[in-house]
Structure 1
């Protein structure tokens, strides 16, 4: 039978142990490359992806010169849209709104804050308002948010009239008036909470949701 890799392992004449084939021992004796710093990539001659790594180091000017017919800005923008992270926010339902209102008394520091945030939640839910349309922040213009004069309550018809002066789809300020009906449940009724808030809200001008006290 010819010798080769298929031969049986021979016994060590001294210790009686099995000897590995010669080709296995030869490979085991060859020095192995060790990468001591795992954060750094191994040298280019030790990595099969070295040519790809070199191509990654080409700057944008070289890419434009090499491929003048490619719009890299649109290419990168398309990659961002393709691998865009999923929006994990969920829509507010009536059950969630009830739980939010119930939690306010445990997180707000005063009765004034509790009624104010309850009014904000109920009004935004019933009128489909964006936060920038009724809440004042550092990047929102003072006159663009909902003011006291923009809110009118019809006590006869039990309706609430809300005038939105500026919005995301109305940048020129043509304004839109929304009509909100009374809800049977006072817990989530915007009219009920707004009436209670206006009774304790200081002043008659300025943003309707004023921190006040």
Structure 2
């Protein structure tokens, strides 16, 4: 059951359920039996008063729905009055994710200053490859790099194959592929660009120690490139460029991939394929006004 959802999703569901049980104590309820709709409406009202975003509320309710189903009781999050309350909540909590996209231009500029942000030439090639893959592959950072240096997660070395004008990456599992069917991601050559994914991966493979398997993006000693390190060097590069690092996040590469694809006039079906979006949700990633 734990493996049916991602680690982050499971953790989010667990936190929501604990909050719910604590809230229900005020109503002398166990949070499972009895008339729960009025209690849930008060729970929603309490979240509104605390300034919880609409997306944050939806995540909480998703966690409650999961646990109601898991325990075999009625899922009151789907009741009509609850759904209406959530609709009103959304309209009253109009907010927009303000994370800026990493544009192609910013990616090029980042690549040019990485030599000043990294400790040596090896690290420079490592981060150029990481940033190029993140942008052109529209990777979530959790799919690309390891959670920590010692866990060996992220894209695996056996999953990356370099061709003459293409890099093939096998994404064995992702947020939208919990069954683990996997998906092939093909990244093609960008002629004349220093941030071309084929060029960056080839340059990294020239120095990557062959004796280390596991994670593809590793330091010289074989330790995996971690999420923390990815973000730290990214922010360092933004600072070098005079860009406000607080306006960006690791997800800015994926946001940038969607935004640039639309700016370049690619068809919606192609944009969805690039980012592996199964619906029109990709539109929330398109932020042309923030380029």
Which TM class, normalised by the smaller chain length?
A: 0.5 to 0.7
Q: Within 1, Cα distance between the matches of 2:179 and 2:151? A: 13
Highest RCO, 1 vs 2 (Cα 8 Å, sep ≥ 6): 2
The correspondence of residues 187-198 of structure 1 with structure 2, limited to 5 A, is 187-198=194-205
| Per-residue deviation, 1:78 | 4.8
Q: What residue in structure 1 maps to residue 38 of structure 2?
A: 69
Cα 1:138–1:77 shift into 2, 3 Å: farther
The correspondence of residues 161-200 of structure 1 with structure 2, limited to 5 A, is 161-200=168-207
Stretches of structure 1 lacking an aligned partner (at least 5 in a row): 1-58
| Per-residue deviation, 1:60 | 7.2
Q: Within 1, Cα distance between the matches of 2:28 and 2:108? A: 56
Q: What residue in structure 1 maps to residue 161 of structure 2?
A: 152
The secondary structure found in structure 2 opposite 1:177 is strand
Note if contact 2:27-2:39 (Cα within 8 Å) is conserved in structure 1: no
Cα 1:60–1:204 shift into 2, 3 Å: closer
The secondary structure found in structure 2 opposite 1:193 is helix
Paired residues in the alignment total: 150
Cα 1:148–1:88 shift into 2, 3 Å: same
| Per-residue deviation, 1:154 | 2.0
Stretches of structure 2 lacking an aligned partner (at least 5 in a row): 1-23, 30-36, 55-91, 222-291
Q: 1 or 2, which has the higher strand percentage?
A: 1
- The two structures have a TM-score, normalised by structure 2, of 0.46
| Per-residue deviation, 1:204 | 4.6
What root-mean-square deviation, in Å, do the aligned CA atoms of Structure 1 and Structure 2 show?
2.9
Q: What residue in structure 1 maps to residue 244 of structure 2?
A: none
Q: 1 or 2, which has the higher helix percentage?
A: 2
Of the two, which has the highest radius of gyration? 1
The correspondence of residues 90-109 of structure 1 with structure 2, limited to 5 A, is 90-109=100-119
Q: Within 1, Cα distance between the matches of 2:104 and 2:150? A: 28
Note if contact 2:162-2:201 (Cα within 8 Å) is conserved in structure 1: no
